[in-house]
Copies of this chain bind each other. A is one copy, B any other.
Amino acid sequence: MGTGDAPELNDLVAARLDAHDHRYTRGRRALVEALAQSAGPVTISEILSRDSSLSMSSTYRNLAVLEDAGIVHRIVTSDEHARYELDDAVTEWHHHHLVCAGCGTVLDFTIPDDLEASLNRVLRRVARANGFTSEHHRLDLIGRCQACG
């Protein structure tokens, strides 16, 4: 996820915010930019420490706005801090998370299309059987990275 896709991304974000009657302000651009440049989901404190022009309260509020508009996605790995990433629909990349139980770092990964398809088929069935409206699924692999042994 470099910065090469920034133009389209910004247009998409602008459109989505507009559709939700929200403005694409400097602070929101900074957040989208930060998330686009991250290798994986990042915590709010990471975002704040990388861009000192961002205030804490506005960042929390803006991430909520962006999430509501379907632009970002909040994930909670275990406890610690919440993490954010650009939504699958925006990046057009369905992926999963490899979480280090030691330091909390999160890496992205994908599984083969056919396995993903089988999974979806089964999950749709499970949702229906329980009277749920299926929205999406989440597959996390919990382990320990090299550094955390």
Point out residues on A near B: beta carbons under 8 Å. 74, 76-79, 82, 98, 100-101, 107, 109, 111-112, 115, 118-119, 122-123, 126-127, 130-146, 149
Chain B residues with Cβ below 8 Å from A118 are 115, 118
Smallest CB gap from A107: residue in B: B130
Chain B residues with Cβ below 8 Å from A100 are 132
Assembly stoichiometry (copies): 2
- Distance in angstroms between the alpha carbons of A127 and B143 in the assembled complex: 8
Smallest CB gap from A138: residue in B: B140
B132 & A145 in contact (Cβ 8 Å cutoff): yes
- Distance in angstroms between the alpha carbons of A78 and B135 in the assembled complex: 14
Chain B residues with Cβ below 8 Å from A134 are 141, 143
